[in-house]
Structure 1
Amino acid sequence: MLRDFFLGTIKIHRLYHASKEPIYGSYMIEELKNHGYDMSSRTIYPTLHQLEEKVVCGRIRMYYTTTESGNNLLRAWRQIRELAEEVLYENKE
């Protein structure tokens, strides 16, 4: 269950960055490495292919952006974050 949770947070992280600007695989590998995840290209690219809208920029990279469905998912994730913050920080006030 914990593994599924972490994989889910990695997907949300990827979705978040794609909502800000087009992303590509090696960028996300480095970004996740900055957060302590050691992801291989064999792991990251299948998750990137799940993004529906693709824009080819030259012949070198595929850039990925969020769809409206992805943006809706991010809005829902923010509601989950608010609940998690309430639970995690309940006794700190």
Structure 2
Amino acid sequence: MENKILRKLFLAFMRVHILYHAKKEPFFGLWMIEELKSHGYNISSGTLYPILHSMESDGILNSEEKTVEGKVRKYYSLTAKGEEVLKEVKAKTRELSDEIMN
């Protein structure tokens, strides 16, 4: 049961990572899977892509198909609405971190 609870919380953390990286530069799904793994999140494409599609439907990410070395990849980037959401998340994260770490 604890694993289910942690998974729910970590899915929210992963969304924050996605917002952060989408602001830095456009990324494609496989790159994000590897990036999240480097932070200890074991996520499959079957979990990531529905999250990305949901974030795109919410208007906080947009996507653009690009052909790189003969492969068509969908690159995700942050929208203006996504920037506002990230700004709010950063403020709340700072507040929460200060509270729980002291």
Superposition TM-score, scaled by structure 1 size: 0.85
Deviations 1:3-52 (A, max 9, x none): 33211111111111011100110001000100111111101111112324
Aligned-residue identity in percent = 39
Given candidates 16, 19, 23, the residue that maps to 1:19 is 23
Query: Structure 1: which 5+ residue stretches go unaligned?
Result: none
Given candidates 31, 55, 64, the residue that maps to 2:76 is 64
Moved more, 16-25 or 75-84: 75-84
RMSD: 1.5
Q: Which has the larger strand fraction?
A: 2
Count of aligned pairs between the two proteins: 90
Shift of 1:66: 0.8
Shift of 1:88: 2.5
1:7 aligns with 2:11: yes
Query: Structure 2: which 5+ residue stretches go unaligned?
Result: none
Shift of 1:2: 4.0
Superposition TM-score, scaled by structure 2 size: 0.79
